[in-house]
Copies of this chain bind each other. A is one copy, B any other.
Amino acid sequence: MISATEITKFGAEKLSFQKDEYIFREGEKALYYYQVASGEVKMNNYHEDGKEFIQAIFSAPRSFGEPPLFAEIEYPANAVAVTKAEVYRIPKKEFFKWLLANPSIHLQVSKGLATRLHYKAIMASELSQQNPENRILRILDYLKQQAKHSSKKHTFKVDLTRQQIADLTGLRVETVIRTIKSLAAKNEVEIIERKVYR
């Protein structure tokens, strides 16, 4: 969201996290603006039965964890490093000082919020109907479009495990495996060396 040069100018700390390390946890007070510098970060929830739900996966230079700063609420989900990752961090107070001094950056941040709201609206609608094929295709199409990838058929490599797709769509691994196979049979996706192409 914010250029690397500019963010360091603003006194951001750069933190390192190992794979599977927590950056913050659900229920904690929101104190910082975060932005991915390298690697990947996911936000997730766990249901009572232990089943994971992945709200989103972020890679550089996306920001995350800022909505609770605005809404003045606790974190509604955990942030966890999916891979070894580096993250910029700016204290809440500094962040707001900065926004007020830079209306155009504030607008960028608002745009980021609106974009994520859009994604969530689409996913909520898709999750509400239980059809596994649509759930999976929507996630894949979203990722493809996010990656600003050409819209050519079966050229976008989906870099997610079947389990991650399951956790993003609320399905079970077995269902994802079976559904992706059936989608491949319908020529909606292609499977090459176990990787999914959309």
Task: Give residues in A with beta carbon < 8 Å to B.
Answer: 45, 47, 49, 51, 53, 55, 66-73, 76-77, 96, 99-100, 103, 106-107, 109-111, 113-118, 120-125, 127-130, 169-170
Q: Which 6 A-B pairs have the closest CB atoms?
A: A128-B170, A70-B114, A120-B120, A67-B114, A71-B114, A127-B127
User: What's the nearest-Cβ distance from chain B to residue A26, in Å?
Assistant: 10
Q: Is the beta-carbon distance between A111 and B70 smaller than 8 angstroms?
A: yes
Given B51, B96, B107, B122, which contacts A70 in the complex, CB threshold below 8 Å? Answer: B107
Q: Give me 6 other A-B pairs in contact (C-beta within 8 A), A70-B113, A77-B125, A113-B114 excluded.
A: A51-B129, A77-B121, A103-B103, A116-B117, A120-B124, A128-B170
Q: Is the beta-carbon distance between A123 and B124 smaller than 8 angstroms?
A: yes
Given B47, B72, B114, B128, which contacts A68 in the complex, CB threshold below 8 Å? Answer: B114
Residues of the B chain whose Cβ atoms lie less than 8 Å from the Cβ of A124? 53, 55, 120, 123-124, 127
Given B71, B100, B127, which contacts A128 in the complex, CB threshold below 8 Å? Answer: B127
* Assembly stoichiometry (copies): 2
Q: Which chain B residue has the least Cβ–Cβ distance from A167?
A: B128
User: What's the nearest-Cβ distance from chain B to residue A155, in Å?
Assistant: 23
Residues of the B chain whose Cβ atoms lie less than 8 Å from the Cβ of A66? 114
Residues of the B chain whose Cβ atoms lie less than 8 Å from the Cβ of A169? 128
Residues of the B chain whose Cβ atoms lie less than 8 Å from the Cβ of A170? 127-130
User: What's the nearest-Cβ distance from chain B to residue A61, in Å?
Assistant: 17
Q: Is the beta-carbon distance between B70 and A121 smaller than 8 angstroms?
A: no
A45-B125, A110-B109, A110-B113 given as contacts; is B53 within 8 A of A118 (CB)?
A: no
Q: Which chain B residue has the least Cβ–Cβ distance from A51?
A: B129
Residues of the B chain whose Cβ atoms lie less than 8 Å from the Cβ of A114? 66-71, 113
What is the CA–CA distance of A98 and B170 in the complex, to the nearest angstrom? 41
